Structure 1
């Protein structure tokens, strides 16, 4: 099994890890629901227009039910994740949401799809979860909001469901059309929020540019990379590699935002990176652990 699909997923996760840092440049009046709606709109429709021009989407035969399900899952993930970021900060929101997703995915695959998680996945996920604990044992630096943590946990479940449903969708359609359609439908589902919350902050060109970055880089490009990799590897493995997101978020928090991490947090980063190495190298050297859905 080629290491390329794992690399695609990893690069996508790194791009996701820049989301929190980008948000720090938005004003406090930027509501999480509007950020979610804007991100889906820019990311989805920018790809959709290109795919329509290239005649890559056949609307009559498109798997609408699977797309709607994936769009609902990613919409809920975004709403809950960005709300969690607002309540408990980028670090905790990222690690709880993305850290819990591979666990949920492995359990879902095991219970409902009768696919027992591989030993490599188990070892890698254990490394990652222990790393997450160390990463955010930052005394006095981060305030843990129970409601925010709950939002992140549900967001993690939503992201796991999105990954599994997307994998099923990718078996029928190409990656870029799938991402384009999923996020375009998501933007339609999130449309009502544009009329419920203040959007005056979008009159600022700088704020609009950040939304475009979130839509193009952390949505269009990131999810296309993630989708291409996901098509070739198990959902649980893809989600474990997604733990590169909180690692990236933590590093950017230190070097860009100016957050201070303790020694335990740095140990956590090393463990998270170790989990990625275990999963990538282990899966490449042992083809038996690769089980397609």
Structure 2
């Protein structure tokens, strides 16, 4: 069920692009991102039960700060990448680099990936490449855009790792997300005064903001955080590669966009990779080794 929760979160994530496409033309990517995080943070607190765990949060403030920085870095990085590289290349760099960054960071912490994780991630990333390039052509190169997309991938990986560590240390998954998103929203608050926000007064704009904030952020990250209770962070970031599959289906059925045949092949590869990974999620496809010297206990 934890794997299913993460996949459900990925489906909600995948509806983000369609919601933005159906929203007001005046809404800018950075403005939408800042509003989304702000509403999402408020919504997450509505799901919090059993207190705010302030003592545990103070004790683990480094992980909270790490996740908050990751959340804050994702939005501007992602939209810079898609603006400079194009939607196709920017999206695949951001989504595809997330599992790789998570794997490298956790490997540095003493948690080694297995061959099963590497195979599943390779299949999903390869499928994602076919999927996004099937929907858009003419990708262009930009160093700034590449760095932006890589920043988004790293930010997402940092959030996933930080949330998993907070859960392991006694913080509820929803509380962990709420704290990180609240701080992340504060970091992005200046964008609310820099970007045009008049579109929020339009019914369609407000509806889009609520959908992105409450459904695609609050509910999605509640599901994602619950899934992280039993699924390792690197595995979770690979499972969320189901997002481009959802985005492609919505683009074809809702936005009347066309997807080339190799795009559907890519979707199949993503599903195959996720099925391979999901089937082996318990035990997780990671061999935990201690990241504390002199300790004989395994830490995933």
Query: Could you state the TM-score of these two structures normalised by the residue count of structure 2?
Result: 0.87
Partner residue of 2:124 out of 121, 125, 128: 128
Structure 1, 123-132 or 57-66: larger mean CA deviation = 57-66
Q: Distance in 1 between matches of 2:141 and 2:229?
A: 35
Partner residue of 2:164 out of 146, 164, 167: 167
SS of the residue 1:260 aligns to: coil
1:194 equivalent in structure 2? 192
Structure 1, 64-73 or 270-279: larger mean CA deviation = 64-73
SS of the residue 1:116 aligns to: strand
- Cα 1:130–1:206 change in 2 (3 A) is same
SS of the residue 2:112 aligns to: coil
- Cα 1:240–1:197 change in 2 (3 A) is same
Q: Is the Cα contact below 8 Å between 2:9 and 2:220 reproduced in 1?
A: yes
Q: Is the Cα contact below 8 Å between 2:91 and 2:132 reproduced in 1?
A: no
Structure 1, 78-87 or 173-182: larger mean CA deviation = 78-87
Pairwise CA distance, 1:88: 4.7
Q: Is the Cα contact below 8 Å between 1:88 and 1:143 reproduced in 2?
A: no
Structure 1, 207-216 or 158-167: larger mean CA deviation = 158-167
SS of the residue 2:134 aligns to: coil
Partner residue of 1:272 out of 264, 270, 273: 270
Q: Is the Cα contact below 8 Å between 2:71 and 2:159 reproduced in 1?
A: yes
SS of the residue 1:146 aligns to: coil
Partner residue of 1:151 out of 141, 148, 151: 148
Partner residue of 1:74 out of 71, 74, 83: 71
- Cα 1:116–1:28 change in 2 (3 A) is same
Pairwise CA distance, 1:87: 4.5
Structure 1, unpaired ranges of 5+? none
Q: Distance in 1 between matches of 2:56 and 2:236?
A: 28
1:106 equivalent in structure 2? 103
Q: Is the Cα contact below 8 Å between 1:283 and 1:289 reproduced in 2?
A: no
Residues 142-199 of structure 1 show CA distances to partners (whole Å, capped at 9, x for unaligned) of 3324234442222111111111111111223001111222111111111111111211
Q: Distance in 1 between matches of 2:234 and 2:25?
A: 35
Q: Distance in 1 between matches of 2:33 and 2:204?
A: 17
Query: Could you state the TM-score of these two structures normalised by the residue count of structure 1?
Result: 0.89
Partner residue of 1:260 out of 258, 273, 294: 258
SS of the residue 1:257 aligns to: coil
Q: Distance in 2 between matches of 1:236 and 1:48?
A: 26
Structure 2, unpaired ranges of 5+? 289-298
Q: Is the Cα contact below 8 Å between 2:44 and 2:219 reproduced in 1?
A: no
Residue 137 of structure 2 is aligned to residue 142 of structure 1: yes
Pairwise CA distance, 1:23: 0.7
Aligned residues: 285
Q: Is the Cα contact below 8 Å between 2:56 and 2:171 reproduced in 1?
A: no
2:33 equivalent in structure 1? 36
1:6 equivalent in structure 2? 3
- Cα 1:256–1:268 change in 2 (3 A) is same
Residues 77-123 of structure 1 show CA distances to partners (whole Å, capped at 9, x for unaligned) of 0121133344455544333211111111112211x212211121011
- Cα 1:159–1:272 change in 2 (3 A) is same
Residue 249 of structure 2 is aligned to residue 248 of structure 1: no
Q: Is the Cα contact below 8 Å between 2:173 and 2:222 reproduced in 1?
A: yes
2:51 equivalent in structure 1? 56
